[in-house]
Every structure is written in structure tokens, then in C-alpha cells.
């Protein structure tokens, strides 16, 4: 796999700033955000950038981090939550600065093992926080899908697994390279391994605070969201006044989540648009409806909100496969929507909730404002009827390997995955290899993520879609 090679060790040895060596740049396809002024006073001039190197106790990575700590621009921590705390303290000193929390491979289970990681309150509208996982032992390279940073959660977790304190303000927030598995906070039927929603924790996997969080640019990249019982990613933030913000969701795996992604925002200024949402090169695989009922609410993998959420939404180069309730849920009249582009994506077998088995089925399930029941539209219907850029999309079998936890009489806390592959996920829906009517046989059974068996397409024609291990955020091209 391609590595993001850094000059950290040599720069530190030469006595230069570590932050200079770990500077992360945006992908060239992203759009710069507006520089419109905020009406709040500036917190001051520029400050020195800083890096917090995080690695588990007793590891070569921590020994390296400790040897480079200087107490001013480079810090070493053994706990992720302490790294986030240190970063917040530095940013709250004010001024234009970037603080990077760089994490080596390992498990980081939160303060006192509570199974959550929380960014403390930050009040610095000119500051940038980068939370980057997936570094090797000497922090010279980063590949989250080879050096996994996991946040193990627990039964009864108190909120999102990764979250941010309310009333925070930043110019930019980047969260990249985390594996977030909600299964330990869920309950599963001991006979079928189906999810028991009523007994599972009802918090999203990642959330950026409640009303009051303001960030001009939010980047969520190279993460794994898996087994969420009530949402994978909640975009609970808004841009500052006078600024057109941007949200970039790039190169993430969204696997086996319920109410996976909602494009509505819940920031301080409810009803104020965020600006632009750019969703590119993500893999949306086997994300379930809220209930296995074709008339229920919240059925699709992505729920589209009207222009009060975003002025513009772009979905490109994503892979959407085996999502039973369809890909996009569209419940608003078209004249209430902002600009929408759904281009150059791959779709496959997304409509089994309605017995659809065609590769191009259920790209959109929607009521469009006035319809009493869902109109389930395939790719060709959407191309003809939707007021959006629908160019370049394809429908084909990506041939994706998926790892499931074995069925056994135990709660999720006692279930461990075996490194076996289920290449034909259609069997989960009772489909036969010749196609035909399909149905949901098991509801959101526990899925596992194994770096030895990434759920990437085996079909060569599909490999340009969805997650790209070489497209790690900040990697030089």
C-alpha cells in the first residue's frame, strides 16, 4: 500500500518545528472555503504549530514519541483522550495555528475505559485541529488501513464514540484514520445474530457536538464506521456567521449502519446552510433501514435534506452496494433542494427492501414532499426525472468480500470475528445466484472489519470506485 512519507524524524533531528514536517494539505479536488470575515473579534496573531504524538505504553512508537518531545511544539502522550486534551489547551491559547494529534497503531478505549473519545471545548475561530490515525512506529508514514487505530467502545457508552464538546469554534477540523465499531454497545439475537435495536445504544458513532459548534471547514476522511445502531455520522455543526463553510467526507468505509448518514445539520444557526457538502470515494456497504419495513421512515443509506442543510451537495466516485433500503432517501419537493450532483458512482443491488434485485435498483427512495408512499426509482428513472447532474454513473457487481461475526449464543461483547470471507453478500437477503426476488433474511447482523481482508472490489472494473487506500488525506500526489 502507498504510504504518506513524512520528514518528521529528520526535521526533528535538525531542530526544526515538528509541525512543519507534518503539515497536511487538502486534496486538489476540494474547494477552498470562503474567507468572508466573521463578526467576532480575532483571537490574535499567529502561534507556533504543534504536534502531539500518541502511542500505547511500552511500544516502539511511544519510545520514539518520548524521545522527540520538547515541551513546546512536540508532545508525547500514551492516551488518545490526553492527546485531544493537550491539543485543546494549545488551541485555546488563541491565534492562527494548527495542532495535529498524530496516533500510531493501537487500541484507544477512552478515559477510564469508557469507550468514547471527546474533543474538549475549543474556542479559537482561527485554529485548526487535525486528528490523524494510522502512523507507523517512527511516525514517518501513515496508512490507516495498515496501521489501524481502533477506539473500542463498551456497553452503555455515554454518547457518540468520537464526539466534540458543545459551544466550540474552529476554522478547520480534520478527523482521519479511525476505526469506530459500535458492536460492543449493541445487542444481537442469539439465534440469528440480528441486531436488537431496542436494547442497543441509541447514539451515533461520530458527532461534532450539539447546537453551538462552529467550524468553517470539516473533513472526515479515511475512517471506518461499522455496526452503528442509530447513525454513523451526524453533521451537528454550522459555519460561523458570514462564512460559507464546506464539509468533505472522503475515503471512508460505511459498513452495516442504521440511519447511516443524514445531510441535515444541527448547528447553532438552525436553518442556515453550511455551503457545500462533498462526498467522494466512500464505500457504503450493507447499511440497513431503521426498520425492515418498506413503509417506515429512514430507509436509505443517505438521507438528503433540503437547501437549509447545504446549498450544494456533490456525491462522486462512491460505491453503493447491498443497501437494502436504497441509496438516497429524498423526501422533499425538488424546488426546495439546493444544487445536487450524483456523478461517477457505482450502484449495485440496493433495493431488497422492496424485493428489487436489479443492479441499478433503488438509487432513490423518496416521497418528494407529497407522495404517501415511497417512489422507488432505479438509476435510469433518476437520470430522467431528477433535477441533478447524474452523469457517469454505473451499475455492476463490485464483488466485495465481507467479514461477519460467527453466529453463537452470546451478546456482542462475547462475539469475536473469524477471518473468513463471504463474497456473495446476496445470500444474506435470501437471493439466489441467478437473481430473482430477494428478501431480508437477517437484520443488521454484526459485521467485522479486518485489515487483512479489506472490503474492496475484486471486480477490476469496479476498483476505481469507493475507498482508495492510496488516497489518504494529506498524501502528496
Whether 106 contacts 152, CB under 8 Å: no
Whether 410 contacts 191, CB under 8 Å: no
CA distance 435 to 361: 13
The per-residue pLDDT for range 3-15, each reduced to its tens digit, is 333 334 333 443 3
The pLDDT of residue 428: 55
DSSP category for residue 287: P
The pLDDT of residue 25: 26
Q: What is the mean pLDDT of residues 186-204?
A: 78
- pLDDT exceeds 80 at position 421: no
- pLDDT exceeds 60 at position 200: yes
Q: Where are the domains of the chain?
A: 153-462
The pLDDT of residue 20: 40
Q: In the block, which residue shows the cell 419495513?
A: 293
CA distance 467 to 224: 10
- pLDDT exceeds 60 at position 285: yes
74: phi then psi, degrees, rounded to nearest 5: -130, 130
The per-residue pLDDT for range 215-268, each reduced to its tens digit, is 999 999 999 999 988 889 988 777 776 678 899 999 999 999 998 999 887 655
Residue length of the chain? 477
The pLDDT of residue 282: 98
CA distance 85 to 91: 10
C-alpha grid cell for residue 313? 451537495
Q: What is the mean pLDDT of residues 73-97?
A: 97
The per-residue pLDDT for range 316-372, each reduced to its tens digit, is 999 999 999 999 998 888 888 889 999 999 999 999 888 888 999 999 998 877 777
The pLDDT of residue 476: 46
CA distance 178 to 175: 8
- pLDDT exceeds 70 at position 133: yes
- pLDDT exceeds 50 at position 420: no
- pLDDT exceeds 70 at position 415: no
78: left (phi over 0), alpha (psi -120 to 50) or beta: alpha
Strands 364-366 and 74-77: unpaired
SS3 of 377, please? strand
The pLDDT of residue 18: 39
Whether 127 contacts 91, CB under 8 Å: yes
The pLDDT of residue 45: 59
Q: In the block, which residue shows the cell 436488537?
A: 196
10 Å CB burial of residue 397 (0-12, 13-18, 19+) is middle
SS3 track for 176-229: ECCEEECHHHCCECCCCCCECHHHCCCCCCEECCCCCCEEEEEEEECCEEECCC
Q: What is the mean pLDDT of residues 197-225?
A: 86
CA distance 16 to 7: 11
Whether 402 contacts 427, CB under 8 Å: no
Our measurement of the distance from residue 235's CA atom to the centroid of its chain's CA atoms, rounded to an integer in Å, reads 10
CA 322, 320, 281 angle in degrees (round to 5)? 145
The pLDDT of residue 24: 33
Whether 203 contacts 159, CB under 8 Å: yes
Which one has a higher pLDDT value, 206 or 266? 206
- pLDDT exceeds 90 at position 166: no
Which one has a higher pLDDT value, 148 or 268? 148
Q: What is the mean pLDDT of residues 423-450?
A: 58
E strand intervals along 370-442: 375-377, 394-395, 403-404
Whether 253 contacts 449, CB under 8 Å: yes
Q: What is the mean pLDDT of the chain?
A: 81
Q: Looking at the DSSP assignment, which residues form a beta bridge with residue 346? A: 319, 394
Our measurement of the distance from residue 194's CA atom to the centroid of its chain's CA atoms, rounded to an integer in Å, reads 23
- pLDDT exceeds 60 at position 2: no
The pLDDT of residue 407: 43
- pLDDT exceeds 50 at position 73: yes
The pLDDT of residue 405: 59
Q: In the block, which residue shows the cell 459485521?
A: 447
- pLDDT exceeds 50 at position 416: no
pLDDT band at 188 (very low <50, low <70, confident <90, very high): confident
The pLDDT of residue 266: 67
CA distance 224 to 323: 17
Whether 20 contacts 49, CB under 8 Å: yes
Q: In the block, which residue shows the cell 408512499?
A: 373
- pLDDT exceeds 90 at position 468: yes
10 Å CB burial of residue 152 (0-12, 13-18, 19+) is middle
Q: What is the mean pLDDT of residues 375-385?
A: 94
Q: Which of 352, 350, 353, 355 has the alpha carbon at shortest distance from 382? A: 350
CA distance 285 to 465: 12
Amino acid at each position: 500500500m502507498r504510504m504518506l512519507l513524512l520528514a518528521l524524524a529528520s526535521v526533528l533531528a535538525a531542530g526544526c518545528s515538528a509541525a512543519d514536517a507534518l503539515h497536511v494539505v487538502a486534496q486538489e479536488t476540494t474547494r477552498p472555503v470562503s474567507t468572508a470575515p466573521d463578526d467576532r473579534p480575532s483571537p490574535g496573531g499567529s502561534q507556533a504549530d504543534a504536534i502531539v504524538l500518541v502511542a500505547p505504553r511500552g511500544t516502539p512508537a511511544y519510545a520514539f514519541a518520548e524521545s522527540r518531545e520538547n515541551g513546546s511544539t512536540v508532545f508525547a502522550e500514551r492516551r488518545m483522550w490526553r492527546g485531544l486534551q493537550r491539543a485543546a489547551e494549545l488551541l485555546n491559547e488563541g491565534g492562527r495555528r494548527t495542532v495535529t494529534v498524530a496516533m500510531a497503531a493501537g487500541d484507544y478505549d477512552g478515559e477510564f475505559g469508557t469507550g468514547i473519545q471527546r474533543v474538549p471545548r475549543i474556542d479559537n475561530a482561527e485554529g485548526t485541529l487535525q486528528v490523524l490515525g494510522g502512523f507507523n512506529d517512527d511516525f514517518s508514514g501513515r496508512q490507516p488501513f495498515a496501521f489501524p487505530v481502533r477506539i473500542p467502545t463498551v456497553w452503555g457508552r455515554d454518547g457518540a464514540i468520537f464526539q466534540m464538546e458543545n459551544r466550540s469554534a474552529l476554522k478547520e477540523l480534520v478527523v482521519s484514520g479511525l476505526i469506530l465499531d459500535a458492536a460492543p454497545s449493541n445487542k444481537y439475537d442469539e439465534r440469528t445474530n440480528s441486531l436488537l435495536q431496542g436494547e442497543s445504544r441509541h447514539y451515533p458513532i461520530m458527532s461534532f457536538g450539539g447546537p453551538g459548534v462552529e467550524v468553517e471547514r470539516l473533513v472526515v476522511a479515511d475512517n471506518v464506521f461499522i455496526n452503528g445502531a442509530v447513525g454513523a455520522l451526524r453533521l451537528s455543526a454550522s459555519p460561523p456567521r458570514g462564512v460559507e463553510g464546506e464539509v468533505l467526507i472522503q475515503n471512508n468505509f460505511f459498513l452495516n449502519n442504521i440511519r447511516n448518514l443524514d445531510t441535515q445539520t444541527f448547528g447553532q444557526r438552525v436553518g442556515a446552510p453550511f455551503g457545500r457538502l462533498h462526498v467522494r470515494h466512500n464505500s457504503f456497504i450493507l447499511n440497513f433501514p431503521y426498520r425492515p419495513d418498506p413503509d417506515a421512515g429512514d430507509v436509505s443509506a443517505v438521507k438528503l435534506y433540503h437547501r437549509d442543510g447545504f446549498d450544494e451537495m456533490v456525491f462522486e466516485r462512491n460505491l453503493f452496494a447491498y443497501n437494502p433500503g436504497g441509496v438516497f432517501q429524498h423526501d422533499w419537493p425538488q424546488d426546495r433542494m439546493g444544487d445536487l450532483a450524483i456523478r461517477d458512482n457505482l450502484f449495485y443491488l440496493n433495493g431488497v427492501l422492496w424485493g428489487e434485485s436489479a443492479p441499478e435498483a433503488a438509487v432513490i427512495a423518496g416521497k418528494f414532499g407529497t407522495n404517501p408512499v415511497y417512489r422507488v426509482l432505479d438509476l435510469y428513472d433518476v437520470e430522467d426525472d431528477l433535477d441533478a447532474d447524474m452523469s457517469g454513473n454505473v451499475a455492476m457487481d463490485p464483488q466485495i468480500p465481507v467479514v461477519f461475526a460467527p453466529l453463537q449464543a452470546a451478546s456482542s461483547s462475547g462475539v469475536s470475528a473469524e477471518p473468513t470471507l463471504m463474497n456473495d453478500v446476496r445470500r444474506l437477503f435470501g437471493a439466489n445466484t441467478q437473481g430473482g426476488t430477494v428478501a431480508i433474511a437477517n437484520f443488521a447482523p454484526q459485521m467485522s472489519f479486518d485489515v487483512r481482508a479489506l472490503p474492496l472490489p475484486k471486480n477490476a472494473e469496479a476498483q476505481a470506485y469507493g475507498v482508495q487506500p492510496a488516497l489518504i488525506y494529506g498524501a502528496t500526489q
